[in-house]
Amino acid sequence: MNYDELNRLSKIILDACLVVHRELGPGLLESIYTHCLKSELESRGVVVQCKIPMPLVYRGAALDKYFELDMLIENEIIIEAKAVETMHPVYEAQIISYLKLSDKKLGFLVNFNVSRMKDGFSRFVNNWQD
């Protein structure tokens, strides 16, 4: 997927997150926001998969261990959803690791437990070369 398409999808994802947050507000469980965000994105024609197990590959060998992506958009963009009071640095490390391990270029860390969505939306890039 090229740069322009990823940016087009990024705008759709941000807008969908804004709509979900505006409708629900803060204070609910992560699973509620994820479910509603999936519905919002699908209503816009975006392919969304949730709770995707990804095999752990270490030194070129697939191990009998998996990590789980909250959401995978168009098989290209990772969304790690949170509904937490405080964003800890480990959440950023988590999405960066997920991007590297899955060899995806773009990911978003979204915390729905904020009063303004712009304070809970972060973009992460992995080895972007176009």
Rounded to the nearest integer, the mean pLDDT of the chain is 94
Q: Smallest Cα–Cα separation from 38: which of 53, 20, 21?
A: 20
pTM for the whole structure: 0.93
Average pLDDT (105-125) is: 96
What pLDDT is stored for residue 3 in this prediction? Answer: 87
Residue 129 clears pLDDT 90, i.e. is over it? no
Q: What share of the chain in percent tops pLDDT 90?
A: 87
For residues 93-108, give the mean pLDDT.
94
What pLDDT score does 128 carry? 66
Structural domains of the chain ordered from first start: 3-125 (3.40.1350)
- 4 pLDDT higher than 90: yes
Task: State the average pLDDT over residues 24-50.
Answer: 98
| Confidence at residue 130, expressed as pLDDT on a 0 to 100 scale | 52
What value does the mean pLDDT take over residues 105-118?
Answer: 96
